């Protein structure tokens, strides 16, 4: 089973959360948008050296995606927001990239807990 690394998952991996270890020997993908979120988090909470180190480490998993994913992502976001569920643009794109690539969306973000195609790990 392949996994899409949500920013939440990458942060937990950086923090050393052992619950994510079983997923690390699988095929992993993410987007450059998620890498931007990760870099900013690490820059803000640690420093530029740490942020750049993990940006390079996780960049090998970054894939491009079809432009149609954007439309599907925004429809998905609009539907969730109508239910008062606030999910970022980047999370919506990541979720749809996961689906398009037949990968499970790996996260611990509570907004995704009940959604299909999610591997939820705290």
pLDDT digits (tens, 9 = 90+) for 80-121: 999 999 999 999 999 999 999 999 999 999 999 989 999 999
| CB-based contacts of 70, cutoff 8 Å, min separation 6 | 93
* Chain-centre distance for alpha carbon 70: 15
State what percent of residues in the chain have pLDDT above 70.
100
pLDDT digits (tens, 9 = 90+) for 64-78: 999 999 999 999 999
Give the span between the Cα atoms of 56 and 93, in whole angstroms. Answer: 21
Give the span between the Cα atoms of 83 and 103, in whole angstroms. Answer: 25
Domains and CATH numbers, the chain: 3-120 (3.40.50.1010)
SS3 of residue 55 by DSSP: helix
Give the span between the Cα atoms of 34 and 97, in whole angstroms. Answer: 11
């Amino acid at each position: 089973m392949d996994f899409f690394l949500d920013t939440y998952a990458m942060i937990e991996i950086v923090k050393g959360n052992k619950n994510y270890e079983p997923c690390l020997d699988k095929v992993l993908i993410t987007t450059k948008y998620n890498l931007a979120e990760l870099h900013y988090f690490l820059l803000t909470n640690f420093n530029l050296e740490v942020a750049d180190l993990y940006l390079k480490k996780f960049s090998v998993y970054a894939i491009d995606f079809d432009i149609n994913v954007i439309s599907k992502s925004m429809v998905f976001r609009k539907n969730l927001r109508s239910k008062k569920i606030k999910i970022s643009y980047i999370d919506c794109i990541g979720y749809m990239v996961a689906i398009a690539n037949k990968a499970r969306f790996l996260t611990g973000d509570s907004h995704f807990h009940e959604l299909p195609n999610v591997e939820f790990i705290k």
